[in-house]
Chains A and B, each alone.
Chain A
Amino acid sequence: MNSNVDSADHAVQNSDSMVRFRVENIRKEFTNVVALDNVSLELRTGEVVGLVGENGAGKSTLLNILSGIYQQDQGHIYVDGDRVSITNPRMASHQGVAIVHQEHNVIPNLSGYENLFLEQFPDYSTAGVLDSDTLKREGAEILSSLGIDLDLEKRVANYSFSDRQMLSIAKAFTETVHTDHPIILLDEPTAGLEEDGRDLLFDRIEDLRDQASFVFVSHELDEVLEISDRIYVLRDGKIVNHFEQENATEDKLQQSMVGREVSEEYYQASDQRDVENSEVALTVSNLGNEGHFEDVSFDVREGEIFGICGVMGSGKSALGRVLSGVDAADTGELAIDGTAVETGSVHRMVNQGIGYVPKERQSEGTLLYQPLRVNVSLPSIGTDLVADRVPGLGTVPWLIDFEKEDEMAEDIVERLNVKTPSIESPLINLSGGNQQKVVLGKNLQREVSVLVMDNVTRGIDVGAKEEVYRILRQLADDGVSMVFIADELPELIGMSNRIGVMHEGELVDVVDSPPGDKPMESELIRKMI
């Protein structure tokens, strides 16, 4: 541990406010991986404590231990100075600890009040019959005490994303209603929230400080800085730093998360290729997909990164799905190097040299329980790249040459700097950033001339993002054309040569984004809305 933490400990001992919750020297090991090592932190009454760290740093593991989903191998948890054991989620809520998961622990086909009291149904039933009136009444009371406004009679399926989150927060308070000052763990609470929802959330947290203490986990450092009184930084399973709000800056947090200074030129824009004189690789003419977008035309040159931005529902993701072959176009044409390509079939598109990095890494990009090797080679199986040779028959595409396959996997691990115990490790054992590198890597084996990416850095940490950017710059140098769909504008602006702006299903503008003269975010936002 470094001196920063020691001095912080001192400060805490001298502080007047009560320590509500404390964990000491927590250690957790999974198969051959130390996920948490000697982690200590504390939470005072009414405090909001930020917890930041890269993917795989141990944030989720820690939250899972505190909320009773995992058990620590070593270390102790204290509530109000008393040592407690939290061996399951019920025990956690009994001790006043509740978690609000990123994916909101609500059941869509039940109503709001049923969700709110789900765990307490037995207490509200007579002979197995649920006393709905009491639930509704008490639910309304809880909501009003929290200052949250929701229609509890509606089915949760009809709730907006932001409402679901508010319900989850109310549920956390309901579960711990017997304690007067619960400890609420918020796991990536702002992920997927629009700006209004975020503001509402922050208002609620501020207001509820006198009723609860919060642990706030997020990738969005500016948000952590805004809301937290103190911030802990996790790296490789250890608390490496600890900041009071007034001493913390985004740069300092990033540095201690990554363990080094984040390169000044994050997006490596100076490496951006000049594609003025390159050949056109991808031609999109009058492309349309009914209900999503229409009459979209643009072209992408060799080695060019063509960014696409737009608000949700602008048609940008739908465009990505058509460009990659997942959906078929109703109108218009798509051509690679002048040859028309039929849309609506990914395998046909792959054979024409298109690679696709889908938006949902876990459900669309990775075979989580298969080894890294199998994931990397998946698009190449059945091609000469991994075809075995049989004496007398020559190359047989339907037989796999395991040696070639191993080499391919080793090559990706080395080129993209994937951190993995071995190429035989199932991807589930890798962190999100490393999984994403595999998803990128598997697209690089075949002759890919166009790479379509939908939010390629989504949910991965600063260090991994920087590496992904470096890889993309390399690909551009190799002449790969890229369609770069992204929600994060700084990234989009930093990476793209040109940016297409989608608005209500139309490509309303294409903005140049040369190095040294990048467009302003505000300029793009104006066009997007």
Chain B
Amino acid sequence: MSEETSGNPVVDWLGEYRKNRSVTDLLVDLGPFLMLLILIAVFTATSEVFLTYDNLVGNVMMNSMILLFVALAGTFPILQQSIDLSVESIVSLSGVITAILINDYQLGMLALLLGILAGTGVGVLNGVVFAKGKIPSFLVTLGSLSIFSGSALLMTGGYSVPFNAPGIRQIAIGNTIPQVPNLVVWGLVVYVLVSLMAWKTTFGRYTYALGENERVADFSGVNVDRYKIGAFVVSGTLCGLAGVLLTARISSATPGMGSGLLLQSIAAIVMGGTALTGGVGGPHRTILGVLVIGVLTNGMNLLGIQSFVQEIILGFVVILAVAMSMDRDKIDIVK
């Protein structure tokens, strides 16, 4: 083993990096960063408002947080080479459950906790059916997507459930820290915790191992089923949190409030550098994809671009960003 060190940690780190990573790896690592910087440069040049604190925190960050939770949630199954397609329906379902518990049962803050737990519960269902039933997660969650959103519709009769609870609203939009909306604080705290979970815990490590080669993990003595279920439990819980905070923010829940989040979250995850083939990337990177989408949407709003056109542009940027951040060296065949 080489033990020479230069004494300068940055130089050492770069040396180590160069030893193990190729130029394509570097591009993959930096791709989403570059994309974000390009977008920021473009919107700074074209809009006076863009690079202001109020816009960046009050709009870009604030509007990205729900997507952040959902994208962090979806990262875990994808890292394991599975997928959770039911994320947006879990957001709607827990939101609706929370609103009903507040409105009809006057549970107050307890409703928030129960809303999150509802997400955890349906995550357990997803995970158990997938891991124990040995049914591909794509199909399990495609089914549960329909089941959960149908349930949300059934509970509400299709109507929105508004409630009047200023205290709860403050949980999302208040400023416990001056100038920083609580929702942004929630987002950053959860982001750090979830990134730590992927990086530092047994669960995180097994998640990477399962994503690269489940058989190897199994033969190494990993309780594979437990951690496969775990990924969906984490996913469900974070989606539950997203639903609860979204409900708190708008003091209302609708059975369709999560719609659109599935596609955006997958785009954010892949843009961040987590491959759909599993094993590489991680939640710490997903935030980059979320910010690319957040900045792009905000910038286009500021420029007054028509919303239909926005969708088309968003699609192009997603493909471009994925092209920049995918390591094709490791993928022989793309289907």
Contacts and interface: CB of A to CB of B under 8 A. Distances in A.
B99 to A, nearest CB: 35
Contacts, number: 99
Nearest to A360: B215
B223 interface: yes
A400 B205 contact: yes
Contacts of A365: 216, 219
Contacts of A332: none
B20 A379 contact: no
A424 B219 contact: no
A422 B206 contact: no
Interface string A322-334: 0010100000000
Interface stretch (B112-120, B156-164, B196-204): B196-204
* 5 nearest CB pairs, A to B: A350-B221, A382-B202, A347-B221, A398-B202, A379-B220
A378 interface: yes
Contacts of A347: 218, 221-224
Task: State which size class the interface on B falls in.
Answer: 20 to 34
Contacts of B223: 347
A370 B209 contact: yes
Contacts of A370: 208-209, 212, 279
A369 B279 contact: yes
A378 B212 contact: no
B33 to A, nearest CB: 21
Contacts of A374: 205, 208-209
Contacts of B209: 367, 370, 374, 378
A368 interface: yes
Nearest to B25: A31
Contacts of B218: 326, 346-347
Given A349-B221, A369-B330, A399 B200 contact: yes
Contacts of A270: none
Contacts of A3: none
B11 to A, nearest CB: 15
B220 A350 contact: yes
Contacts of A422: 1-2, 16, 19-20
A39 interface: no
Nearest to B217: A378
7 contacts: A364-B216, A367-B212, A374-B208, A388-B200, A400-B200, A400-B201, A423-B1
User: Of residues A356, A367, A410, A422, which shows the largest number of chain B Cβ atoms within 10 Å of its Cβ?
Assistant: A367
B288 to A, nearest CB: 21
Interface in B184-234: 200-203, 205-206, 208-209, 212-213, 215-224
Contacts of B153: none
A366 interface: yes
Interface centre among B1, B22, B215, B220 (most CB of A within 10 A): B220
B51 to A, nearest CB: 38
B16 to A, nearest CB: 6
Interface size class of A (residues with CB under 8 A): 35 or more
Nearest to A324: B219
Which of A347, A368, A410 has the most chain B CB within a 10 Å cutoff? A347
A421 B212 contact: no
Interface of B: 1-2, 16, 18-22, 200-203, 205-206, 208-209, 212-213, 215-224, 279-280, 330
A324 B215 CA distance: 13
Nearest to B19: A421
A205 B111 CA distance: 78
Contact of B213 (A324, A367, A382, A421): A367
Query: For chain A, what secondary structure do more than half of its interface residues adopt (helix, strand, loop), or is it mixed?
Result: mixed
Max chain A C-beta neighbours (<10 A), residue from B216, B217, B223: B216
Contact of B20 (A349, A350, A351, A424): A424
Interface in A80-102: none
Interface string A365-399: 11111110010011101100000100000000111
Contacts of A263: none
B229 to A, nearest CB: 14
A413 interface: yes
Contacts of B221: 346-347, 349-351, 379
B39 to A, nearest CB: 30
Contacts of B201: 398-400
A398 B203 contact: yes
Given A363-B216, A381-B206, 14 more contacts: A31-B22, A326-B219, A347-B222, A351-B221, A358-B219, A363-B213, A367-B209, A397-B202, A398-B202, A399-B202, A400-B201, A422-B19, A423-B1, A425-B19
A32 interface: yes
Contact of B1 (A366, A367, A381, A410): A410
A384 to B, nearest CB: 12
A349 B206 CA distance: 18
A230 interface: no
B219 A369 contact: no
Interface centre among A31, A363, A399, A442 (most CB of B within 10 A): A31
A426 B202 contact: no
Contacts of B220: 346, 350, 378-379, 442
A522 to B, nearest CB: 35
Nearest to B21: A31
A371 B20 contact: yes
Interface string A394-434: 00011110000000001001100000011111100100000
A44 to B, nearest CB: 35
Contacts of B22: 31
Contacts of B206: 381
